[in-house]
């Protein structure tokens, strides 16, 4: 199956740039077989291991498909394939003559390299695949390289990504040095390897976008073409999560790791969503929301680690399974939301929410699908986001109710998750309402058009996935159980430690009743006579589009509570005098970590480097002086050394 | 079959009793002010009259304007079904139902604010913004209270969590949850349900453009939510599980009545707070619940 995937993906890469149809067919076959391979593992096929006969870079290729890899492979296959279908409508050749071909090429490379990252069981090849994956991400982000901010976002991504890769280089090299081989696998019996996990943690946390290493994520995800944003947000950052889960399972982790990951995860969730709420750019909002969701996943993973350390199978298993399920769920609904945002961008040419509004009339499909995504991402029942958040909550509550020492991590985490959940709801009511409801705020919004069939189809599949996991969570338990067992073999098998079938039933009843009530009320309103009239609004004679509440105003209250953390900037000129001429108010939420911390440090480094450049001026006399000075210094050093 | 019958019975009870509470509150307010006041059953008349009326909808609104209140009402009814009624236990009790309950309330909030934003009115946007923002703090307080109950009972299922009293922290928890009740149901001092124009700030402002059956559904949902919080508060504080069924029922009815009268008295004696003080008050409610949690933790196994 994987061979088919490999062949199809390679087949897509080679002729892809020239023939879009062949590319699409090959991509669909390739990603479909990736998905099928993963499903085969869930259906009970044994783990698959394979060593190549030829050596690459002095090492034999070692691929391994176990429950955990298959879990991420399934997501890769689904989002990768749907993204390819979506791209056909979103980034066609006639609109993007030069970049569409490049996009197809790098899309294939990215899918293939991510697949190798997931399968690779050799440190060297893992790094090679990782690097290829990072690079293809860079080329995909900067597809439209005419625009300055896109190039800047690409560079920032590349720099951050390489900072992470540096940590991984150190990690794998040190690991190979200690064990004497690049081969990877369970190494729990070597407690001396434990501290190395911190290196891996730093490297993978950059990719996953954990606070405060998320700096690259918002601009990269916002500026990339939307199908790329969906792949980056839905799958690529999950590679970081995969690394964290994989190596926390294989390595003997220090005791502090569980506490650290839980703590950072909870902080990431809260700060990520608070920043998301503050955004006025639709895709940037979604990007920050990805930061939040990675935080939620990290809370689950950290809890799983605490559970493994505690020796308690119940809640640890629940938390890890919740984290894994959230990986899928976030992949589904975030890809859906980015696709919907892309379709808005495609129709109106802007991501600025304050220029949109009233799109439900011209884009009913996108509006409904975005609403489903928004409800899922806010963790509302009956959709999938609720199921995984419910599992994580339940695990944390079990910790607290059992009064284990880990409760001191669990209680704050529950609180942060609750705050993050409520803020997510606020952020997505704001996003959905400002973009799709009310009156169009500009001409472009009024003249929007619905997206094409391929884009719509991709979104419908994702929305159906969101609903399916919400309605039948128990169906997905065996797969999650397999992945959990791959992480920690003693936790293998067993019924879910949570009443998933009951929750599924409750969700199904809720959907049925909600549909019935909605239709019933609509029918009863129609039966009693339904008149259309201007918005009443306490008696306005002619409400105008510009009188509507803006996204910034909607978020202002809650964002104000976080202003002191992020240092919100505000410039305003109040109207003065009886005939005020001009007044404005501009609020901006800076990228606190980037602008206040990394920016100055990088600036200082550049200044030092600039000063050092003064030494290079091409005058021979001075070079001779340098030479003499250097020789003297060396001589002195040698002399001093001999005297000792 | 008997489970289904049980749930239907609960449904009827919740739906029929809910509109009574606002009537009682209005009676208390009238009594304190020395007026005669509207009849206790006024809301029932209002609902039946609204149900027969025709609907005027904004030209900007999508069908979601009508579907929103319907879904919100279903979510509230679902939450009510999950909540155990004193000695009769929960309608559909399972581990983790308490989290579903909290999130069903969130579904209702999502739909209400969504429907409010349909009209494109700045006024309703204001209400929606306040609703979702203050919900952040009330949800924090509510989840802390649930943590306290969970620590006290060692369980994550509502029927066991609410069977015991909240122990030593019961008083703190009662105060905290009462504040949450006032905020979530938009009563004084957070909001004023009496006014309909500038002074109404959160809930009423979001439903300005609704009329006819959708408005009836919204009003009924609001009454249901009030009853739900009153029952939750009573059961969290009273040790229901230790009483005989009859005593527990009486205690529950008495406590819900006391909470309702308390809401009426607060409304009569207090003015609405300035808006910048609302977060402060909610933070105090959160801190009360937090202290209740710490007390429960210190109190040792239940």
- Nearest Cα residue in chain A from B209: A536
Give dist(CA A115, CA A61) in Å, integer. Answer: 14
Give dist(CA A390, CA B96) in Å, integer. Answer: 8
Are residues A458 and A601 part of one domain?
A: no
Are residues A448 and A306 part of one domain?
A: yes
Torsions phi, psi for B160 (to 5 deg): -85, -35
Torsions phi, psi for A447 (to 5 deg): -100, 20
| Strand pairing category for A59-65 and A530-533 | unpaired
How far, CA to CA in Å, does A481 sit from each of A250, A485, A538?
Answer: 17, 6, 56
Nearest to A297 by CA among A497, A447, A75, A474: A75
Give dist(CA A273, CA A277) in Å, integer. Answer: 6
Whether A330 and A378 have beta carbons less than 8 Å apart is answered as no
Are residues A200 and A242 part of one domain?
A: yes
Nearest to A551 by CA among A434, A394, A411: A434
Q: Which residue has the tokens 């509230």?
A: B76
State both tokens at A457.
């189809």
Whether A541 and B116 have beta carbons less than 8 Å apart is answered as no
State both tokens at B147.
């943590």
Q: Which residue has the tokens 């505000």?
A: A570
Burial of A593 (0-12, 13-18, 19+ CB in 10 A): middle
ipTM for the complex?
0.95
Question: What residues of A are in contact with residue B154 (Cβ under 8 Å)?
Answer: 401-403
Answer yes or no: is A434 within a domain.
Answer: yes
> Around Cβ A476, how many Cβ atoms within 10 Å?
20
Give the one of B56, B120, B130 whose C-beta lies nearest to A438's C-beta.
B120
Are residues A304 and A191 part of one domain?
A: no
pLDDT of residue B1: 67
pLDDT of B201 strictly over 70: yes
Whether A5 and A33 have beta carbons less than 8 Å apart is answered as yes
Give dist(CA A64, CA A87) in Å, integer. Answer: 31
State both tokens at A343.
């379709």
Answer yes or no: is A533 within a domain.
Answer: no
Are residues A147 and A84 part of one domain?
A: yes
Q: Sign of the CA dihedral A487, A301, A286, B205? A: positive
How far, CA to CA in Å, does B227 sit from each of A22, A178, B22, B78, B253?
Answer: 62, 64, 9, 13, 11
Answer yes or no: is A275 within a domain.
Answer: yes
Whether A16 and A87 have beta carbons less than 8 Å apart is answered as no
Q: Where is pLDDT greater, at B49 or B299?
A: B49
In DSSP terms, which residues pair with A59 in a beta bridge? A56
Give the one of B100, B120, B129 whose C-beta lies nearest to A439's C-beta.
B120
Average pLDDT over residues B195-202: 66
State both tokens at A285.
């909002």
B53 min Cα distance to partner chain A (Å) = 6
Answer yes or no: is A554 within a domain.
Answer: no
Q: Where does a domain end: A485, A518, A551? A: A518
State both tokens at B56.
């005027």
Query: Distance between terminal CA atoms of chain A?
Result: 69
Burial profile A553-586: b = 16 or more Cβ within 10 angstroms, e = fewer: bbbbbbbeebbeebebeeeeeeeeeeeeeeeeee
| Percent of chain B whose pLDDT exceeds 70 | 95
Answer yes or no: is A587 within a domain.
Answer: no
pLDDT tens figures, B132-141: 999 999 999 9
Query: Distance between terminal CA atoms of chain B?
Result: 35
State both tokens at B120.
């494109």
Question: What residues of A are in contact with residue B107 (Cβ under 8 Å)?
Answer: 375, 380-381
Whether A320 and A398 have beta carbons less than 8 Å apart is answered as no
CA A74 to chain centre: 16
Q: Which residue has the tokens 């499909």?
A: A365
Whether A12 and A106 have beta carbons less than 8 Å apart is answered as no
Give dist(CA A51, CA A184) in Å, integer. Answer: 13
pLDDT tens figures, B283-295: 999 999 999 999 8
Give dist(CA B231, CA B223) in Å, integer. Answer: 12
| Strand pairing category for A569-573 and A584-588 | antiparallel
> Around Cβ B31, how many Cβ atoms within 10 Å?
15
Give the one of A429, A509, A537 whose C-beta lies nearest to B121's C-beta.
A537
Nearest to A276 by CA among A221, A238, A342: A221
How far, CA to CA in Å, does A231 sit from each of A79, A120, A234, A236, B222?
Answer: 6, 20, 5, 6, 42
Question: What residues of B are in contact with residue A419 (Cβ under 8 Å)?
Answer: 136, 139-140
Are residues A417 and A302 part of one domain?
A: yes
- A516: cis peptide before it, omega within 30°? no
- Give, as one character, the DSSP assignment of residue A577: S
**Which of B107, B138, B155 best probes binding to A when mutated, by most A CB atoms within 10 angstroms?**
B107
pLDDT of residue A493: 67
Q: Sign of the CA dihedral B88, B89, B93, B99? A: positive
- Whether residue B136 and residue A513 make contact (CB cut-off 8 A), yes or no, is no
**Which of A402, A470, A515, A558 best probes binding to B when mutated, by most B CB atoms within 10 angstroms?**
A558
Give dist(CA B43, CA B40) in Å, integer. Answer: 8
How far, CA to CA in Å, does B292 sit from each of A159, A162, B230, B242?
Answer: 48, 48, 19, 21
Q: Where is pLDDT greater, at A25 or B265?
A: B265
State both tokens at B154.
């060692």
3 state DSSP class of B209: coil
- Whether residue A522 and residue B150 make contact (CB cut-off 8 A), yes or no, is no
Give the one of B63, B147, B213 whose C-beta lies nearest to A400's C-beta.
B147
Are residues A247 and A168 part of one domain?
A: yes
A401 min Cα distance to partner chain B (Å) = 4
Number of structural domains found in chain A: 3
Nearest to A71 by CA among A243, A322, A328: A328
DSSP output for A272-337: HHHHHHH--BHHHHHHHHHHHHHHHHHHHHHHHHHHHHHT-HHHHHHHHHHHHHHHHHHHHHHHHH
Q: How is chain A split among helix, strand and coil, in percent rounded to 5?
A: 70, 5, 20
pLDDT of residue B198: 58
Give dist(CA A319, CA A266) in Å, integer. Answer: 14
State both tokens at A201.
């943690």
pLDDT of residue A577: 82
Are residues A418 and A286 part of one domain?
A: yes
pLDDT of residue A623: 87
Give the one of A394, A421, A547 whose C-beta lies nearest to B96's C-beta.
A394
Nearest to A485 by CA among A48, A25, A20, A67: A67
Q: Which residue has the tokens 């969570």?
A: A473
Range of the domain at A291: 263-518
Burial of B301 (0-12, 13-18, 19+ CB in 10 A): exposed
> Around Cβ A399, how many Cβ atoms within 10 Å?
29
Torsions phi, psi for A88 (to 5 deg): -60, -40
Give dist(CA A281, CA A223) in Å, integer. Answer: 10
- A122: cis peptide before it, omega within 30°? no
**Average pLDDT by consecutive 10-residue portion of chain A (644 residues)?**
71 71 84 88 84 81 89 94 92 83 89 92 92 94 88 92 93 90 84 87 93 88 93 94 93 88 94 91 94 96 90 83 95 96 93 91 94 95 93 92 87 94 95 93 89 92 95 90 87 78 91 94 91 81 81 87 78 83 77 77 87 82 90 92 78
Are residues A224 and A337 part of one domain?
A: no
Give the one of B136, B151, B208 whose C-beta lies nearest to A400's C-beta.
B151
pLDDT tens figures, A14-28: 766 677 888 888 888
Are residues A239 and A335 part of one domain?
A: no
Answer yes or no: is A559 within a domain.
Answer: no
> How large is the C-alpha radius of gyration of chain B?
19
Q: Where does a domain end: A201, A222, A254? A: A254
Answer yes or no: is A617 within a domain.
Answer: yes
pLDDT band for position B200 (cuts 50, 70, 90): low
Are residues A392 and A354 part of one domain?
A: yes
pLDDT band for position B302 (cuts 50, 70, 90): very low
Whether A42 and A482 have beta carbons less than 8 Å apart is answered as yes
Answer yes or no: is A271 within a domain.
Answer: yes
Give dist(CA A349, CA A365) in Å, integer. Answer: 18
- Nearest Cα residue in chain B from A277: B133
Question: What residues of A are in contact with residue B150 (Cβ under 8 Å)?
Answer: 397, 400-401
**Which of A538, A546, A556 best probes binding to B when mutated, by most B CB atoms within 10 angstroms?**
A538
Are residues A614 and A498 part of one domain?
A: no
Largest CA distance in chain B: 60
Q: Where does a domain end: A483, A503, A518? A: A518
- Whether residue B110 and residue A390 make contact (CB cut-off 8 A), yes or no, is no
pLDDT of residue A602: 84
């Amino acid at each position: 199956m994987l061979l088919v995937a490999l062949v199809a993906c390679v087949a897509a890469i080679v002729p892809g740039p020239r023939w879009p149809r062949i590319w699409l067919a090959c991509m669909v076959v390739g990603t479909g077989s990736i998905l099928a391979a993963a499903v085969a593992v869930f259906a009970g096929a044994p783990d698959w291991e394979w060593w190549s006969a030829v050596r690459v870079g002095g090492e034999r290729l070692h691929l391994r498909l176990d429950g955990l890899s298959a879990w991420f492979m399934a997501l890769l296959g689904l989002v990768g394939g749907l993204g390819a279908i979506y791209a056909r409508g979103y980034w066609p050749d006639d609109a993007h003559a030069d970049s569409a071909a490049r996009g197809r090429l790098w899309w294939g490379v990215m899918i293939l390299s991510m697949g190798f990252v997931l399968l690779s069981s050799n440190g060297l090849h893992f790094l090679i695949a990782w690097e290829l994956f990072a690079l293809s991400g860079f080329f995909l982000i900067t597809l439209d390289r005419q625009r300055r901010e896109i190039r800047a976002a690409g560079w920032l991504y590349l720099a951050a990504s390489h900072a992470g890769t540096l940590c991984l280089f150190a990690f794998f090299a040190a690991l190979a040095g200690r064990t004497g081989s690049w081969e990877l696998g369970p190494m729990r019996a070597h407690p001396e390897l434990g501290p190395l996990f911190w290196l891996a943690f730093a490297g993978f946390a950059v990719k996953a976008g954990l606070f405060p290493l998320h700096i690259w994520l918002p601009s990269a995800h916002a500026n990339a073409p939307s199908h790329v944003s969906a792949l980056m947000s839905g799958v690529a950052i999950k590679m970081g999560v995969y690394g964290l889960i994989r190596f926390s399972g294989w390595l003997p982790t220090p005791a502090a790791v569980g506490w650290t990951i839980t703590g950072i995860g909870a902080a990431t969730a809260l700060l990520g969503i608070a920043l998301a709420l503050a955004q006025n750019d639709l895709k940037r909002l979604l990007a920050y929301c990805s930061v939040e969701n990675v935080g939620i996943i990290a809370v689950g993973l950290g809890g799983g680690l605490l559970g493994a350390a505690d020796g308690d199978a119940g809640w640890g298993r629940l938390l890890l399974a919740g984290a894994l399920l959230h990986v899928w769920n976030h992949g589904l609904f975030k890809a859906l939301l980015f696709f919907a945002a892309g379709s808005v961008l495609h129709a109106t040419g802007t991501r600025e929410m304050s220029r949109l509004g009233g799109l439900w009339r011209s884009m009913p499909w996108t509006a409904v699908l975005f609403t489903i995504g928004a409800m899922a991402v806010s963790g509302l029942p009956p959709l999938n986001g609720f199921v995984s958040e419910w599992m994580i909550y339940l695990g944390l509550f079990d910790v607290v109710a059992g009064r284990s020492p880990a409760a001191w991590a669990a209680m704050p985490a529950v609180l942060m998750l609750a705050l993050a959940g409520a803020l997510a709801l606020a952020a997505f009511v704001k996003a959905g309402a400002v973009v799709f409801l009310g009156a169009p705020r500009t001409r472009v919004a009024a003249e929007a058009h619905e997206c094409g069939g391929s884009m719509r189809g991709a979104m419908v599949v994702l929305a159906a996935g969101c609903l399916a996991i919400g309605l039948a969570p128990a169906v997905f338990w065996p797969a999650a159980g397999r992945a959990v067992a791959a992480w920690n073999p003693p936790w293998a098998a067993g019924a879910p430690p949570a009443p998933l079938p009951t929750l599924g039933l409750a969700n199904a009843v809720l959907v049925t009743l909600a549909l019935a009530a909605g239709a019933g009320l609509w029918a009863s309103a129609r039966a009693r006579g339904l008149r259309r009239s201007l918005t009443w609004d306490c008696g306005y004679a002619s409400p105008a589009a510009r009188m509507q509440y803006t996204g910034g105003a909607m978020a202002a209250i809650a964002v104000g509570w976080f202003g002191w953390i992020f240092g919100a900037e505000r410039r305003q000129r109040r109207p003065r005098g009886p005939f005020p001429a001009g007044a404005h108010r501009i609020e901006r939420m800076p990228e606190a970590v980037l602008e206040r911390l990394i920016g100055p440090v990088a600036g200082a480094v550049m200044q030092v480097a600039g000063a050092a450049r003064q030494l290079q001026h091409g005058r021979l006399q001075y070079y001779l002086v340098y030479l003499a000075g250097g020789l003297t210094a060396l001589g002195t050093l040698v002399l001093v050394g001999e005297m000792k | 079959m008997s489970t289904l019958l049980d749930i239907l019975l609960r449904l009827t009870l919740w739906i029929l009793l809910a509109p009574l509470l606002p009537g009682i509150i209005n009676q208390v307010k009238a009594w304190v002010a020395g007026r005669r006041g509207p009849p206790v059953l006024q809301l029932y008349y209002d609902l039946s009259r609204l149900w027969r009326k025709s609907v005027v909808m904004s030209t900007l609104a999508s069908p979601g304007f009508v579907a929103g209140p319907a879904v919100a009402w279903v979510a509230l009814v679902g939450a009510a079904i999950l909540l155990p009624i004193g000695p009769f236990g929960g309608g559909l009790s399972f581990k983790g139902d308490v989290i579903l309950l909290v999130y069903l309330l969130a579904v209702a909030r999502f739909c209400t604010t969504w429907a409010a934003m349909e009209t494109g009115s700045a006024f309703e946007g204001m209400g929606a913004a306040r609703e979702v923002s203050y919900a952040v703090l009330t949800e924090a307080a509510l989840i802390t209270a649930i943590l306290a109950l969970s620590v006290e009972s060692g369980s994550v299922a509502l029927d066991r969590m609410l069977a015991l009293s909240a122990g030593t922290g019961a008083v703190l928890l009662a105060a905290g949850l009462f504040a949450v009740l006032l905020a979530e149901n938009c009563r004084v001092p957070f909001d004023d349900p009496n006014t309909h124009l500038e002074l109404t700030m959160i809930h009423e402002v979001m439903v300005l453009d609704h009329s006819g059956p959708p408005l009836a559904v919204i009003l009924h949902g609001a009454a249901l939510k009030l009853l739900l919080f009153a029952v939750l508060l009573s059961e969290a504080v009273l040790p229901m599980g230790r009483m005989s069924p009859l005593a527990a029922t009486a205690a529950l009815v008495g406590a819900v009545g006391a909470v309702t009268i308390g809401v009426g008295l607060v409304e009569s004696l207090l003015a609405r707070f300035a808006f910048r003080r609302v977060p402060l008050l909610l933070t105090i409610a959160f801190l009360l619940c937090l202290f209740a949690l710490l007390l429960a933790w210190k109190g040792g196994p239940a």
